[in-house]
Structure 1
Amino acid sequence: MINDVKTKFSIKDLENLSGIKAHTIRIWEKRYSLFQPNRSDTNIRNYSLTSLQKILNISFLNNNGYKISKIANLEEEEIPILVREISENINKRTKAINDFKMSMFSFDQTLFDSTFNNLMIDYSFQEIFYSSIIPFLNDIGLLWQTGTITPAHEHFIVELIKQKILVSTERAFSNNIVKNDSRTYVLYLPDNEIHELGLLFMNYELTNKGFYSIYLGQSIPIDSLEYLTDFYNDITFVSCFTVKPEAENISDYLEELTRKVLKGTNNKLYLSGRRTQDIDTKNLNEKILIKGSIQGLLDNIELKT
C-alpha cells in the first residue's frame, strides 16, 4: 500500500536511525542551520527523506573525526562527496550500514545492490553478513519497535537480503562437493513462523562447508518432519524460534517433536532464536541443543564433525 511509505520523519526517528541524540540534533539545527524541518499545523517538526540522508552522512563524518563545526562549513553537495571519499579508505562497513538504511527508506534496490557489491570487492559473503547485515538487521529490530519503519520498509529490505543469500547458496552448491553426508541437516521453521533470514544463512554456511542439507523453509508442521525419518537415519533438525511457538505452547511443541522425530533415533534438534529464552532447560531432552545465535550453532556443528 502506498500509504505505508514513510516520507516524513520525527526528530526521534532521526535519533533512532543516526544514533545522534534528538537534543544534539536540535542544537545543531539551531546553531548551524544544518536542517530545515517542516512543521505541522500544531508546530511539530517533521523531516524529509533528504534530511534523513543528510543526518546519516553527518553521523558518519562525525564518527570519523570530523567536528560538527567543520561539517557545517561544507557546501551541501560537498558532504556526500566527502563521505564517499572517506568510505573508500576507512570504515567501509559502517558506511554500508547507513547506505542500507537509506536504500530501505527510499525503496532503492540499485543503492542496495551497489552497496553490497562494493563490499564484495574487499570482503567475503560471510564477512559481509556478520559485520554488516546482522548489525543492520539489529537496527531494523529497534526501528520496528520504535515505529520508525513500516511493514513496507521491512519487507522490501528483507527480500533483497534473501536474494543475496539465495544467490550465494546456489553458487556454493555449484562449487562444492558434499564432503560429509553421514549426517543430514534439515532446516525448517515451525508452524506460522516466517522469519527465515537466519535459517537461510545457516543453509548457505552448511552448503558452503560441504554438508548435506535439506532446506524446508517456513511454517513446517511436525508431521512433515516425521515423514523425513523414513528416509534418513541420522538427522540434525535445525530451527529458529523467533515469534513461534508462543511461550505457553513451546513445552508442548518440544514434547511432541521429541516423541515423533527424536525418541529412539540418532536424530537431534538444534535451536536458536528469541523464543528459545522461554524454554525450560532443566528437563530438556539431551538431544536438543540451544544456542543464542546461528553462529553458536555453526560452531557446535564444526566441533562435532
Structure 2
Amino acid sequence: MITYSVAQVEAITGISAHSLRVWERRFDFVEPFRTATNIRYYSDEQLKKLINVGVLLRNKFKISKVVAMKDAEIHEHVSDILLQPQADIQEDISALTLCMIDMDEQKFSELYNAHLTRKGLLNTFVSLIYPFLNHVGVLWGTNKAMPAQEHFISSLIRQKLIAATDALPQPASDAPSLLLYLLDGEDHEIGLLLANYIAKEIGWRTYYLGQNVPSENIKLVTEQLKPNFMFSMMVSPRNSKFEKTLKVLLDDVGIKLLYSGNTHLLDPEQFKDQAIYLNSPGAFINYLKENS
C-alpha cells in the first residue's frame, strides 16, 4: 500500500491539516492510519476520497452533507462536476491527480484529449499540464507525489510533449534560436520539454541537449551554433561551487541564460546581466515573442 503523510494530503487535496484533524474528531469521516510513533498517514483510497471531497467543497457542498453520502453518491456528484464543459481548472487538476494515483492511462488520455479539443495544444500544456505538475510537485521535486506514480505520469506527459513537438513544422532558417539543456545534477526534464515545445510552436529554432549536460559541452555547442539565448531549469539544491561554475560558463559564452525553477538557486545580483528568471510558461512565451 502506498501511503501519504498529512502534508502530502494537504498539498494534493487542498484540504488543510487543521480541517483533517477537526473532521477526524467530529465526523469519524476518514480515520487515518498511525505509525508506531503515532504519526498520521493515509492510504491511496483515503487520498482519492479526500480529493473528491475537496471537489465537492469547492462546488458549494457542505461538509455536513458530504459526510452523510455513500462513496457511490460522492463519485456521482464529482463526475457530474468534472464533466461540465466549463469546469474549473482546479477540478481538471483533481481529475488528473486521480489518474496519477490510479495509474490510469486511459482516463488520463480522455481528460487530455477533451482539453485538447476545447483549448488546443499550447493552452492544454500551459493552462492544464503545467499547473497540474506544479500542484503534485513533479516539476520542482517537492515529494508531494510518490515516486512510482510520479514516474508514471511524467512518462505519459513526456510522450505527449515529444509527440506534439515532433508534429510542429520546421521553423524558418532565419528564425531566432534557443539552446535548451539541464546542467549536471538536474533530472527534472518535463519543464525543459515544455519549454522546447513552446519555443518551437512560437517559431523559434531549438537545440535540445537534454539532462545532465557538462558545462564544457555547452561551451562547445554555443561556439558551433551561436544561439540567441539559452534556457535551463534549476530545481536541485546547489552549493556555491555551482554558482561559480555557471558564472564562468556564462562569462565564456556571452549568451544570456533564461531559466525557471527554484528562485533561490541563483543570486540575482551576481547574474543580473547574464540570466533572466521566468516564473511561468506565460512569462517564457512573452519573452520569446518580444525577442523574436
* TM range, smaller chain: 0.7 to 0.9
**Residue in 2 that maps onto 1:161:** 157
Secondary structure of the residue that 2:174 maps to in structure 1?
strand
Q: In 2, are the aligned partners of 1:181 and 1:211 still within 8 Å (CA)?
A: no
Q: Could you report, residue by residue, the CA deviation over 1:119-164 in whole angstroms, capped at 9, with x for unpaired residues? A: 223222322323322322222239964x654322322222222122
Measure the CA separation in 2 of the matches of 1:63 and 1:39: 28
Measure the CA separation in 1 of the matches of 2:150 and 2:240: 25
Measure the CA separation in 2 of the matches of 1:11 and 1:257: 42
**Residue in 1 that maps onto 2:121:** 125
Q: Which entry has the higher C-alpha Rg, 1 or 2?
A: 1
The one of 11, 22, 28 aligned to 1:16: 11
TM-score when normalising by structure 2? 0.84
Measure the CA separation in 2 of the matches of 1:246 and 1:70: 51
TM-score when normalising by structure 1? 0.81
The one of 106, 114, 118 aligned to 2:110: 114
Matched, 1:256 2:249: yes
Deviation at 1:205, TM superposition (A): 1.0
Deviation at 1:293, TM superposition (A): 3.9
The one of 282, 285, 288 aligned to 1:295: 282
Which runs of structure 2 are paired with 1:138-177 in the superposition (5 Å)? 138-141=134-137, 145=142, 149-172=145-168, 176-177=169-170
Deviation at 1:38, TM superposition (A): 5.0
Query: AA paired with 1:165?
Result: L
Alpha-carbon RMSD = 3.0
Query: AA paired with 2:282?
Result: Q
Deviation at 1:40, TM superposition (A): 6.0
Secondary structure of the residue that 2:183 maps to in structure 1?
coil
Deviation at 1:182, TM superposition (A): 4.4
Q: In 2, are the aligned partners of 1:192 and 1:244 still within 8 Å (CA)?
A: no
**Residue in 2 that maps onto 1:191:** 184
Deviation at 1:222, TM superposition (A): 2.6
Measure the CA separation in 1 of the matches of 2:158 and 2:289: 24
Flag the 1:293–1:87 CA change in 2: closer, same or farther, 3 A.
closer
Deviation at 1:215, TM superposition (A): 0.8
Query: AA paired with 1:125?
Result: L
Kindly tell me the number of residue pairs found equivalent between the two proteins: 290
The one of 221, 235, 238 aligned to 1:228: 221
Moved more, 57-66 or 88-97: 88-97
Deviation at 1:204, TM superposition (A): 0.4
Which runs of structure 2 are paired with 1:93-108 in the superposition (5 Å)? 93-108=89-104
Measure the CA separation in 2 of the matches of 1:88 and 1:112: 14
Secondary structure of the residue that 1:154 maps to in structure 2?
helix
Percent of residue pairs identical: 28
Query: AA paired with 1:218?
Result: Q
Unaligned segments of structure 1, at least 5 residues:
1-5, 263-267
Secondary structure of the residue that 1:73 maps to in structure 2?
coil
Measure the CA separation in 2 of the matches of 1:148 and 1:209: 32
Q: In 1, are the aligned partners of 2:15 and 2:54 still within 8 Å (CA)?
A: yes
Moved more, 89-98 or 31-40: 31-40
Secondary structure of the residue that 2:69 maps to in structure 1?
coil
